[in-house]
Amino acid sequence: MNTSKSDIRKVGVVGCGLMGSGIAEVCARSGLHTLVYEVDKAALDTGRERLEQSLARAVERGKLTAEDLERVGASLEFTTDLEDFADRDLVIEAAPEDEELKIGIFSTLDRVVRRPDALFASNTSSIPIMKLGAATSRPGQVLGLHFFNPVPVLDLVELVPSLATDDAAWSKMRHFASAVLGRHVIVSQDRAGFVVNSLLVPYLLAAIRMFESGFAVARDIDEGMVRGCGHTMGPLALADHIGLDTTLAVAESLHAEFREPLYAPPPLLSRMVEAGNIGRKSGQGFYTYPVLENR
């Protein structure tokens, strides 16, 4: 295996939702040729628009120059065919938090990506990396690389090796995340929730249970944590920001792995997701949001 730490030049990103578009943006802004996949043209157009709007905001805020914007735009390509990932050095999967879906993606990537030492990474926040690696013929080159939303703003990534991840892949990915993407890297064992969500999700679920029981209204719960504990955002607003569907999926994964009551999703959370009230991206969660914020 080629153990060079600096030979990742072509990156593929599977998914162009909130997380995938952000990951694609930071890769392109880091000078990498970045190919972004979505399931169909409609989803791809929506994701491309989201990415372009984010880049435009970066220019408005002075984070990018017009020349930078042109360079980043030239580094981005889009596709609806995973076969186009054949020449990638690294593929980062950022599909919805569905285990069966992700396993299918990794199996396909294993078939289509030609480079024998290519790395595969998942942005999953809860699914064991070993399960994803086992769907390939090269589990030693599969890791977790969990970003945080909004990706261009929050510089943290959780790096998660599985029991099968080899040392060369581990070293190359850590160097890539820190030196190439400029992320702050923390390391977690391969267990559901990793570091951040193992701590965060019980807190969010406790706030949802408090609201569900009628103990306090949403705004008072959130203001208690913002004004009383110095948090930048209250737990219910944060759950809306993350997406209640994602919050539910992570909670279910944690509960399935550890069987501890603190990880059990409250019934209200499940009902809200079933109703399609999943937070900012739907316009309705614990709060109501303007339509423009959901794009």
Domain containing 226 — which CATH number? 1.10.1040.10
Among this protein's residues, is 231 annotated catalytic?
no
Q: Is residue 50 part of a domain?
A: yes
Beta strands (DSSP E) in 2-89 are 10-14, 33-37, 76-79
Q: Are residues 255 and 174 in the same domain?
A: no
Q: Specify whether the CB–CB gap between 107 and 136 falls below 8 A.
A: yes
Catalytic annotation on 158? yes
Q: Check if the beta carbon of residue 87 is closer than 8 Å to that of residue 116.
A: no
SS3 161: strand
SS3 state of residue 142 = strand
Give the Å distances, CA to CA, from 210 to 59, 202, 203, 233. 41, 12, 11, 17
DSSP assignment, residue 144?
E
pLDDT attached to residue 286:
98
Q: Which residues contact 196 (CB under 8 A, 6 or more apart)?
A: 125, 146, 148, 156, 158
Regarding whether 143 and 227 lie in a shared domain, the answer is no
Residue 33: φ, ψ to 5°: -70, 120
Domain that holds residue 34: 10-187
**Do 141 and 273 fall within a single domain?**
no
pTM: 0.89
Strand partners, 33: 10
Q: Given CA atoms 275, 237, 240, 295 in this order, what sign does their dihedral have?
A: positive
| Residue 262, in any domain of the structure | yes
In this structure, are 219 and 96 located in the same domain? no
pLDDT of residue 295: 41
List the end-to-end C-alpha distance of the chain, in Å, as a whole number: 42
266 lies in the same domain as 173: no
Residue 38 lies inside a defined structural domain of this protein: yes
The pairing of strands 142-146 and 156-161 is antiparallel
User: Which one is catalytic: 123, 126, 197, 253?
Assistant: 197
- Residue carrying structure tokens 């990103």: 13
Query: Could you tell me what percentage of the chain is helix, strand and coil, using 3-state DSSP and rounding each to the nearest 5?
Result: 50, 15, 35
pLDDT on residue 238: 97
Q: Which of 25, 38, 97, 158 is catalytic?
A: 158
CATH of the domain at 76: 3.40.50.720
Specify whether 30 is located in the same domain as 146.
Answer: yes
Residue 260 sits in the same domain as residue 140: no
- State which of 187, 211, 236 marks the end of a domain: 187
Domain stop point among 139, 164, 187: 187
Give SS3 for 225: helix
* Number of domains making up the chain: 2
Examine the domain organization and report whether 182 and 200 are in the same domain: no
Angle at 183 between CA 195 and CA 55, to 5 degrees: 120
For position 126, what pLDDT does the model report?
A: 84
Contact assessment for residue 240 and residue 279, using Cβ atoms and an 8 Å cutoff: yes
In a domain, 122, yes or no: yes
Q: Does any domain span residue 295?
A: no
236/253 same-domain check:
yes
Query: CB atoms < 10 A from the CB of 136, how many?
Result: 20
Q: Each residue of 224-240: pLDDT tens digit?
A: 999 999 999 999 999 99
Cα separation of 236 and 234, whole Å? 6
Residue type, 266: P
Catalytic residue among 146, 188, 253, 282: 146
Give dist(CA 234, CA 211) in Å, integer.
13
The whole-number pLDDT of residue 125 equals 86
Q: Is residue 31 part of a domain?
A: yes
Q: Would you call 99 a catalytic residue per the annotation?
A: no
Active-site position among 30, 54, 125, 253: 125
In terms of domains, do 211 and 183 share one? no
Stretches in the chain below the pLDDT threshold 50: 1-5, 292-295
**Residue 237 belongs to some domain of the structure:** yes
Same domain, 132 and 253: no
Do 157 and 201 lie in a common domain? Answer: no
SS3 at position 172: helix
Domain termination residue (choose one: 187, 215, 234): 187
**For residue 174, is it within any domain?**
yes
Using CA atoms, how far apart are residues 182 and 189, in angstroms rounded to an integer? Answer: 22
Q: Is-catalytic flag, 123? A: no
* Alpha-carbon span 237 to 221, nearest angstrom: 10
